[in-house]
Amino acid sequence: MAIEESEVQSVKLRFGIIGTAPQLNNAVRVAMQVAPTDMSVLITGESGSGKESFSKIIHNLSSRKHGQFIAINCGSIPEGTIDSELFGHEKGSFTGAHEARKGYFEVSNGGTIFLDEIGEMPLGTQARLLRVLENGEFIKVGSSKVLKTDVRVVAATNVNLLSKVEQGRFREDLYYRLNTVPIYVPPLRERGRDIELLFRKFATDFAERYKVKPILLSEEAKSILLKYRFPGNIRQLKNLVDQISVLSSESKEISASDLNNYLPRENSLPAIYRDGAANSKDTISEREILYKVLFDMKKDVNDLKKIVLENIANPAAASQIIQENASLFEGIQPIPESASKEPIVYNLNPEVRDLRQDDSSEVQDITHEAEDDSLSIEKKERELILKALRKNNNKRKYAARDLGISERTLYRKIKEYELEE
């Protein structure tokens, strides 16, 4: 079915989708083509790129438009209750089940369910969902009676599901059942001048809300805006415009320096961009890169400490050891031999220089310290979770957002580290 460009523009206007990027137009066109059918759709794209808008296009242009549309974030529902939420439960089926409850698949019979963050769904729930997709059947928690439902499922994910399939964390049969028709929503950085169009739209909206003049960008500021990678995509851009609209000066013209003050500094980790393949096996998250950097750092620190200890125990072998591990000593200056009668020790820890070669007890203390100071991913992760919870007054939703993880993952980590008060 050929769809005219004017029809695409009309749908974009109706659903508030702004932009002219070819990838964006193609995503809208695919959503329009698949909407009249009952085929399952998998929408892929980064967090904040606007995936839910495409699920609404599919529902409202289908024959189910008069039925219910329910959007569910699978990552925000605890693993222990997600089956009950989706499929319902019988009275007394578990502690706290004081009465029977209908699940979303029963309530939305004849309509559409949008399952966001489908990659966070537990494996047991995935098996139940597969049965619904294949024959429309499900069983409530605590019941043996098979129920029927006629629901269209539209799923979305911001992670590489094929990678999860290879790791055994997502069912392969469910992946291919959901991915009947794939729709890729491009990140903001791949949409070119759409960033400027969205900025103007948000600026006008916030000006009307706050009864002020809309903010404008200088040419230099526009150039900076277009070069910024926006890891949070449209959501981040909208928050940025909101912030500037409230805090900007009376002139309302934003210079390059003004804009730089509002843009968060990007970290030094290498950014991994998508090259258009929504399910590329080479897609790596920044969190995985961070973990790799920390593990490499831990190894280097432990190697350095072992070298220092060997240097103390056997000064004669110090030169040979340092030469063999020259890469670890880049930028580290040795203590001049004239400054101390002790063997040359590289200036890694001031306490090491004060050790006597024949003092075995202090050498043992250094060994113990080397073990205690080693980097622990679990320890750092626990500290970050505690910090995020304190910052957000123990509100897990906002703590999870700050940490860049789902509420369900945060819930699991809190249980794992016994952080519940």
Question: H or E segment at 148?
Answer: strand 146-148
Cα gap 202→208, rounded to integer Å: 10
Cα gap 16→34, rounded to integer Å: 20
Nearest to 62 by CA among 133, 166, 154: 154
Question: H or E segment at 349?
Answer: none
- N residues, the chain: 421
> DSSP H helical segments within 167-193, as ranges?
172-178
Nearest to 76 by CA among 408, 415, 326: 408
pLDDT at 278 over 50: no
Q: Are 67 and 112 in contact (CB under 8 A)?
A: yes
Positive or negative: CA dihedral 401, 407, 409, 414: positive
**Residue pointed to by tokens 């609209």:** 245
Cα gap 20→9, rounded to integer Å: 9
Domains in the chain and their CATH numbers? Answer: 5-186 (3.40.50.300), 199-262 (1.10.8.60), 296-371 (no CATH), 376-416 (1.10.10)
Cα gap 346→352, rounded to integer Å: 9
Cα gap 125→141, rounded to integer Å: 11
Cα gap 177→195, rounded to integer Å: 34
pTM flag (> 0.75)? no
Q: pLDDT tier at 199 (50, 70, 90 boundaries)?
A: very high
Angle at the Cα of 118 from the Cα atoms of 114 and 123, rounded to 5 degrees: 130
pLDDT given for residue 324 in this prediction? 63
Torsions phi, psi of 399, nearest 5?
-65, -40
pLDDT at 343 over 70: no
DSSP state of 334: B
Helix, strand, or coil here: 347?
coil
Cα gap 182→170, rounded to integer Å: 17
Q: What share of the chain is helix, strand, coil (3-state, %, to 5)?
A: 50, 10, 40
Q: pLDDT tier at 419 (50, 70, 90 boundaries)?
A: confident
pLDDT in tens, 74-120: 999 998 899 999 999 999 888 888 899 999 999 999 999 999 999 99
Average pLDDT of the residues in 271-283 = 40
Helix, strand, or coil here: 244?
helix
Better-scored residue on pLDDT, 64 or 343: 64
pLDDT given for residue 386 in this prediction? 87
